[in-house]
Amino acid sequence: MMDSIDKSLQRLRAAPPGYRLDRLEADVWSRIETKKADGFGGKTWQVQLAVTCGSLLLGVVISQLAGVSMMPEPLSSEIVVLSDDSAVAPSVILEGGM
């Protein structure tokens, strides 16, 4: 068995190189850059916009099917931030929560 391995290694050493190794790294990097550019065909922003709009639309449809109101109830003094006299806060008065 060792004899066949030695013969195989000698044949491999005698064979001409199949590829130039001095350009290997540059070729790999150029292929990587080509793949980066072709990911979405240069339309990355359009794909992101389409996904975002689709997600928002799906959320609205699901909330309508579930019966969830898109507009919450008017603010009342219990909801306003951590204050006992929050009923007289301008934001509550403007919302009609008093």
Taking the C-alpha atoms of residue 97 and residue 74, their distance in angstroms, rounded to an integer, is: 6
Range of the domain at 38: 2-95
Q: How confident is the model at residue 96 (pLDDT cuts 50, 70, 90)?
A: low
The structural domain count of the chain equals 1
Q: Which of 11-15, 64-68, 82-86 has the lowest mean pLDDT?
A: 82-86
Question: For the segment 28-68, what is each residue's pLDDT rounded down to a tens digit?
Answer: 888 888 776 656 666 778 889 999 999 999 998 988 888 87
Taking the C-alpha atoms of residue 97 and residue 87, their distance in angstroms, rounded to an integer, is: 7
Largest Cα span, the chain = 97
Taking the C-alpha atoms of residue 84 and residue 87, their distance in angstroms, rounded to an integer, is: 8
Taking the C-alpha atoms of residue 53 and residue 61, their distance in angstroms, rounded to an integer, is: 12
Average pLDDT score over residue span 9-37: 82
pLDDT over threshold 70, residue 20: yes
Return mean pLDDT, the chain. 76
- Return the closest-CA partner of residue 79 out of 98, 56, 60: 98
pLDDT at 71: 60
